[in-house]
Chains A and B, each alone.
Chain A
């Protein structure tokens, strides 16, 4: 199978025969209108609210004290940067995301390699393996908390008791590890699918050539397959990060950010400030800071991602 997986680079490579010169104005509108509704929808629902978030971030505004709104300048931001819980949440955020993405990617790559062989029941194994990713995240949190990690009845504890280990309250003794376990369980199949797609598109002649040259399996993997997979691994990591920095469901269902604030990441912390503290000003400032941070990270990530999406042909040339 050819590389064709990734969309071609520029308009010149697209399907339609496209006039090279700039289209006349009316044709420009004809081209634009199909785009307008979608664009408008997104701007109104994702950009506009954020403008208000920025406004609120300069206000003292608490839903429990109606009528006491006032402008406070940068006070909310000062609070954000002196807030030890915010710093802890930021670290937790990074910890959870990095651990989950890295482990899921490592496992996912290994699984993809295993699945990329011919063996009896491959289709079934693949079907079963993608299931964790399809499980509703809210259910995943509940399922692991109750069925797996419960200190008395959880299966992990039952298994441990066969090995003679006393019951452990995993979610409160190893909260981060517990949450990461669930995230890895859900996201390994995702990584596997992406890497598998990469393996499938690997040109067979290169591998054949390596074999003829007498390269062992490890050498082939290390020097040919892995470099080839790099793009796919990057893509998987990026998409994983985009989703996992917003982890909320699993934390809400499993640990409620606790014990203490040990598993409180930024989304959960902002949620708490907004819907438990009803502190609109403070949580808006937190939101703005988070978005600013995300934008910096995303600008780097997007550049990479965009290359992955569109720059491949150019690179191959």
Chain B
């Protein structure tokens, strides 16, 4: 169905593409609408937001964002940024050598190792949460960003290793051979040949990791409470629809989603690859 209309009789051929294009845009609008509505509502007053006849025309206000910041959303955003940023940095530090050891100069039984990395993604987190919680309590590391960083690193490592490996594998063999013929040491080879070539891959991997850890909810919910709570935890306060706070909720939700939306839009070329752990481009 590449271009479905291409195979049809002439009359249909003229209208077919337009029909499909229209269908595509209608479906796109339906899928995007909730996001758009959330963003619009964030700029409304509560009175405009809470009405049985939804208003599209209204005078935008920043009142809700001011209210959300007055409620102290700042530290939550900061914690989210810190947890996502720092864990991603650690992930890259650990995953790059690992991916190297699984592609360029593979260890023996590299298949088993890859298999193991992948299998950890399949273990349900809930099954490990109690020991993790009790350990964190015992170490006095509850409600600590450090704990989240350590755990988010573990959460994203398999994805990063798989993804980076797929980038390493793309490097043409000739390039490495040329470097070795020139007498480059392993270190030089890595620093001056490999890393520059996978830089786009590193960037893509970093974006994927940031997205996953920014959106993470379960661990943050159970392991943080006051000082280290992240953005999703802030939103728990909105679970009971206290009648008249939908616009404020929309503002908080928009703040929570915006960074990842922007990053995802920027990285969309690499998104499929990241989400499939490097299996598809």
Contact = CB atoms under 8 A, between A and B. Distances in A.
A53 B128 CA distance: 6
A287 B260 contact: no
B16 to A, nearest CB: 10
Contacts of A129: 28, 31-32
Interface string A90-134: 000000000000000000000101111111110001111111111
A115 B130 CA distance: 44
Given A15-B172, A50-B127, A290-B126, A134 B281 contact: no
Contact of B157 (A41, A132, A267): A41
Given A17-B173, A242-B121, A290-B127, A147 B104 contact: no
A15 B261 CA distance: 35
B127 A15 contact: no
Interface string A138-166: 11001111111010110100100100000
B10 interface: no
B276 A194 contact: yes
B105 A16 contact: yes
Given A130-B271, A225-B1, A267-B126, A235 B276 contact: yes
The contact size tier of chain A is 35 or more
The interface residues of chain B, by DSSP majority, are classed as helix
B276 to A, nearest CB: 6
A193 B279 contact: no
Contacts of B153: 41
B52 A128 contact: no
Interface string B88-121: 0000001101101111111110110101111111
A11 B279 CA distance: 17
B268 interface: yes
A185 B33 CA distance: 11
The interface residues of chain A, by DSSP majority, are classed as helix
Interface stretch (A73-81, A172-180, A300-308): A300-308
Residue among B53, B128, B246, B277 with the highest chain A CB neighbour number at 10 A: B128
Residue among A46, A161, A190, A271 with the highest chain B CB neighbour number at 10 A: A46
The contact size tier of chain B is 35 or more
B41 to A, nearest CB: 7
Interface in B243-265: 246, 249-250, 253, 256-257, 260-261, 263-265
Nearest to B161: A38
A114 B24 contact: yes
Given A136-B257, A193-B271, A248-B217, A280 B130 contact: yes
Contacts of A7: 165-166, 169, 278-279
Nearest to A253: B239
A42 B271 CA distance: 24
B115 A267 contact: no
Interface in A235-253: 235-236, 239, 242, 245-246, 248-249, 252-253
Contacts of A310: 111
Contacts of B161: 38
Interface in A193-214: 193-194, 196-199, 201, 207, 211
Contact of B232 (A14, A28, A132, A138): A138
A314 interface: no
A37 interface: yes
Contacts of B172: 15
B144 interface: no
B20 A114 contact: yes
Given A35-B98, A38-B95, A287-B127, A158 B54 contact: yes
Contacts of A274: 126, 129-130
Contacts of B113: 35, 39
A291 B123 contact: yes
A42 B123 contact: no
A72 interface: no
A51 B128 CA distance: 9
Nearest to B33: A155
Contact of A248 (B2, B218, B278, B279): B218
A190 B271 CA distance: 9
B235 interface: yes
A235 B278 CA distance: 11
Interface in B127-179: 127-132, 134-135, 150-151, 153-154, 157-158, 161, 165-166, 168-173, 176-177
23 contacts: A4-B170, A5-B279, A5-B280, A14-B104, A16-B104, A34-B101, A37-B98, A52-B130, A136-B232, A136-B256, A137-B215, A153-B51, A155-B54, A189-B31, A193-B272, A197-B272, A199-B2, A220-B7, A267-B125, A271-B126, A290-B127, A294-B124, A305-B118
Across chains A and B, which 4 residue pairs bring their CB atoms closest together, nearest first?
A34-B97, A287-B127, A52-B131, A38-B98
Interface of A: 4-8, 11, 14-18, 22-23, 28, 31-35, 37-39, 41-42, 45-53, 56, 111, 113-121, 125-139, 142-148, 150, 152-153, 155, 158, 161, 185, 188-190, 193-194, 196-199, 201, 207, 211, 216-218, 220-221, 225, 232, 235-236, 239, 242, 245-246, 248-249, 252-253, 256, 266-267, 270-271, 274-275, 280, 283-284, 287-288, 290-291, 294-295, 298, 301-302, 305-306, 308-310
